[in-house]
Every structure is written in structure tokens, then in C-alpha cells.
Amino acid sequence: MKRNKLVAYSKLSISSFTILLFSLLLVSFQGMSQTVSVVLGKTDIGQNENFEITLTVKNGRLTKYSSFPDIPGFRKGRPSSSSQTSIVNGQVSTQQSITQLYQPTKQGTFKLNAFTMTVNGKSVSNPGTTIKVGVPVQRQVYDPFADFWGGGSSFGKQQQEQDFIDVKADAFYSVSTDKSSVYRGEGFRMDVSFYVSVTNRAELEFYKIDEQVTKILKQVKPRNCWEENFNIESIHPEYVTINGKSYRQYKIYEAMFYPLNSEDIVIPPTELEMIKYQVAQRQSFFGRNRKEDHQIFKSRGKTIKVKPLPDNPLKSVASVGNYRLREEISTAKLKTGESVTLEFRVEGEGNISSIREPSLKETEDLLFYPPSVSQNINRANGRVVGAKTYQYYIEPQEPGEYNLGEYIELPIFNPRTKKYEMLHPEVTIVVEGKSLRDAQISKTDLGSFYDAMRNADNSIVSMDNTNWIQIILNIFVVISIGLTIFFLVKKF
């Protein structure tokens, strides 16, 4: 019985001691303040060594940090992280670190400018430094078991003899179009993509993709075209099949282009640089199992033939596209003086923005007001579709039946059928009432002219009361007589 009580008492004491120790550790941990530091590595390195920038947070968690700075003459590697917790004299301290490695691309002296990083919502600055990169150094691997094993362990030899092999990438880069020949004004789709086979074994990553895409687009975008950009915001894979082989397509850019003239479009070859990792010949738990490398992928050039539209009187005024007309009338029966609304909606696939305004036949029987115009464009699934709407307000002046197709029409050229078409409404309106043509003339504001005549003073004015007019007339008569005498004397 005493033994059981002793055991129970011992367990209670151990539990109480554990709780007390945990409380003391928690209090000591909370009492310590969080510190953030940015430490630069060795600044005199060989070309086969890395420069390092280490971001460290003590006594706190590293939850969020901004990107490390770029250094001219260096390539960024993947950052590595580490953490540690220690207890000294009852005080708990933690430390989390992120180390960014920089691989030099050549020898020389390079400047790391002053930079600021944001860590856990706070700014940390560093004045920068100068980095000297010399010739590659001979790396000596220290083997702590060499003395024990008498001349070196297999681990040490493996570290020294670690070889990396290059795995061939089953991938390609392409700037492609869906057509090789188009009419002027006909659209063609262009996309810039990177394709990786589903059986690819090489590890690949994009390298400074924003900078590269900007450079590529300057080369491949045709200048004599209207662009409708699909605005790719994020790069994600899509599975496609090419020549019976499955690939992951990473689409970088996609747009529709519509030639504005008949000049051929030349797309030059371009390059895309990718990060490709070499893998260790012998996989090791302690050593590196891969090494960063770069590979250039090249696209082929291409020329798109642009054909002029077929000869036709409508050639210079036709809008190009696969369009159809949808019409809507507010009412088909009305009286003179009333108004009717006609919605002339052109919809389909093509350069919606370039659809011309329909031609209008002038008539005194119908009064057409300038149309209000609206459009909507949808870019999806490699197509640009939409609609352009012209809304007309019509005021009939004469009674009768009017086929609106005789007054409004839009010529188009359909590149699919290779034919010209005329879009016009098929609706007929019936107008009743009296003629407003003469009434329209009476509406003209002539009152001020007739009022002026009615109010004018028509009494006779004596010339004696206007001496200045009489003087001017006398001078004119004298000059006329003098000129007549001069010409007569000269003639005889």
C-alpha cells in the first residue's frame, strides 16, 4: 500500500515538474524579442563557388518575406531553409534561416547595391557590397572518418568523386500559328508555348520568364496587324497530343491578329532559356543530388501569306469576318411624327472592332438619326467572337409601307465561303397619318427675318438729310468722267 502511494506521489511530482518546466520555458520564450538580420556571405570567391545571402529570424516564425535582390553577373539558385531550437539556462531560443545562393556566370568584380527586404511585415536594409570572382578553386572535402579508417572512408571518396550527368530533355519551344495564309482582315491565332513530354525525365524550370516573354514578343508581334490579346495571367499545363505523342503544353502568350494590309507577315526564330538540372550519378543522403544548369530552346521562323480581297465593287468597303445579322424593331406600325427604334446587331467571329458603320440611303420620307454604337468582345478557346450593335431612331415623314432593307445595308466578305455578302434588315414598317413634309418646312425658324421686315421703317428719306452720301456720289461721278475722257484722248 505504501509502495502504491509512493508511486502515485512520484508520478504526480513528475507531472507537476513537467508543467512547471514548460511554463517557465514558455514565459522565458515570450520574454525574448524577435530579431531579424540579413547576412552576406564571403565576398571573395572562385567561379565554381556560390555567394550567399542569409535571412535569419530569431525568436519568431519566418512567415513571409520579399524576394532576394538580383546581382549582375550571377544566377539565382533555389533558396534553402534551416531552423533550430536551443535551451540555455532555462531560456528557449529559436532561429529560422533562408539562404539564397548565387552562382557567378563569369570572373570579375561585381557590385551588389544596397537593398531592402520586407520580413514579416517589417523592412530590413543592407548597404550592399562588392563581390570578387576569381578562378575556380580546388575543393577539398574533409572526411572526419579518414584517420579512423586509415586513408579515407567511402563517404569521403563519394563526396570527392561525385559526378553529375546530363539528362536529355524531351521538350521543345514553339511559336505557332493556326493558319499559313489569310486574307487581308482575316484573323489568325498565334501562341508562344513550351511543350514537355509526359515521359520527360529531365527536371526543368522557367527562368526569368517575364523578361524573356517581353523580349520574345517584341520580335514575333507583327506590326501591320490589329491585336486581340487573350491575356494569359498564369502559366499552367494543358495536355495535348502531337503526332500521337502526349505533351504538357505551357502556354506563355496567345493572341489573334488581323492584317491591316496585304504585306506578308514574317515571324523570326526566337529563343527561350530554361533552367535544367543535372542529376548526381550516385544518389547520396548527405551530398547534392542535382546541379543547376541552363539550356536554350529555339523556335522555328514562319511566314504567313496575306492575300488581298477578291476583286469586287465592295472590296474597299466590306468588313471581313464570319458575321450574321440580328435585327429588332420596337414597333412595326406607327403614325407619322412618331419614332421607331431599329437595332442592327452584327455578331459572329472576326475583328469586331473594325466592323464598319452600315451605309444609309437618304430619303425625305424617313428621317434617320445618327446611330448609337456598342460592342462586346469575347476571347476564349482560341477564338474572338462578339457583336457590334447600331441602334437607329427613325421618324417617318410620309405614310406608307417601308422595307428598311432598302435603306440600311452592310457589305461583308466572309473568308470561309470566300464570298461577298450584304447584311440588311428584312423588317417592313407600316406608317399611317398625314404627310409631314410640308409641316417640316413650316417648322423652320424664319420668324426673325419676317419680323424684321414687318418692323422696318419704310418711310421715304430725303437725300438732303444725308450730305455724306451725296458727297461720295459726286466724287464717284467725277472719277468716272475723268477716266472716260482719258481713254478717249488716248484712243484718238
Closest C-alpha to 288, from 138, 203, 164, 168 = 164
Q: What percent of the chain shows pLDDT beyond 90?
A: 49
**Within-domain flag for 364:** yes
Domain check: are 328 and 280 in the same one? no
The tens digit of pLDDT for each residue in 403-447 reads: 999 999 999 999 999 999 999 999 999 999 998 876 655 554 445
| Main-chain phi, psi angles of 389, to 5 degrees | -115, 130
**Within-domain flag for 448:** no
Instruction: Confirm if 223 and 263 have CB atoms less than 8 A apart.
Output: no
Cell reading at 315: 472590296
**Within-domain flag for 303:** yes
Of 80, 105, 134, which closes a domain?
134
Domain check: are 42 and 92 in the same one? yes
Domain check: are 221 and 281 in the same one? yes
Domain check: are 281 and 334 in the same one? no
Of 440, 463, 479, which closes a domain?
440
* pLDDT of 451: 55
In angstroms, what CA-CA distances link 49 with 84, 149, 239? 26, 29, 39
Domain check: are 286 and 385 in the same one? no
Domain check: are 76 and 181 in the same one? no
Domain check: are 296 and 341 in the same one? no
Distance CA 233, CA 243 (A): 29
Opening angle at CA 328, ends 326 and 334, nearest 5: 150
**Within-domain flag for 158:** no
**Within-domain flag for 21:** no
Q: What percent of the chain shows pLDDT beyond 70?
A: 76
In angstroms, what CA-CA distances link 330 with 24, 250, 399, 407? 83, 49, 18, 17
* pLDDT of 267: 96
Domain check: are 382 and 403 in the same one? yes
Domain check: are 101 and 127 in the same one? yes
* pLDDT of 97: 82
pLDDT above 50 (res 29): no
Domain check: are 341 and 303 in the same one? no
**Within-domain flag for 474:** no
Lowest mean pLDDT across 18-32, 120-134, 236-250: 18-32
Distance CA 120, CA 60 (A): 10
What's the mean pLDDT when you consider all of the chain? 80
The tens digit of pLDDT for each residue in 214-256 reads: 999 999 999 899 999 988 877 888 899 999 999 999 999 999 9
**Within-domain flag for 118:** yes
**DSSP states along 253-313:** EEEEEEESSS--EEE---EEEEEEEEEESS--SSS-SEEEEEEEEEPPPEEEEEEPPPS-T
**Within-domain flag for 142:** no
* pLDDT of 386: 94
Neighbours of 28 (CB within 10 A): 16
In angstroms, what CA-CA distances link 381 with 105, 191, 200? 41, 12, 27
Instruction: Confirm if 204 and 275 have CB atoms less than 8 A apart.
Output: yes
* pLDDT of 88: 47
* Domain encompassing residue 266: 171-307
Per-residue HEC secondary structure of 341-400 comes to: EEEEEEEEEECHHHCCCCEECCCCCEEECCCEEEEEEEEECCEEEEEEEEEEEEEECCCE
Edge to edge, what strands does the sheet with 108-112 contain? 44-46, 129-134, 108-112
Distance CA 189, CA 385 (A): 13
CATH of the domain at 418: 2.60.40
Compute the average pLDDT of residues 194-219: 91
Lowest mean pLDDT across 142-146, 166-170, 213-217, 420-424: 142-146
Domain check: are 303 and 176 in the same one? yes
* pLDDT of 439: 61
Q: What's the domain count of the chain?
A: 3
* pLDDT of 144: 42
Task: Specify the amino acid at residue 27.
Answer: V
Domain check: are 87 and 191 in the same one? no
Distance CA 77, CA 71 (A): 12
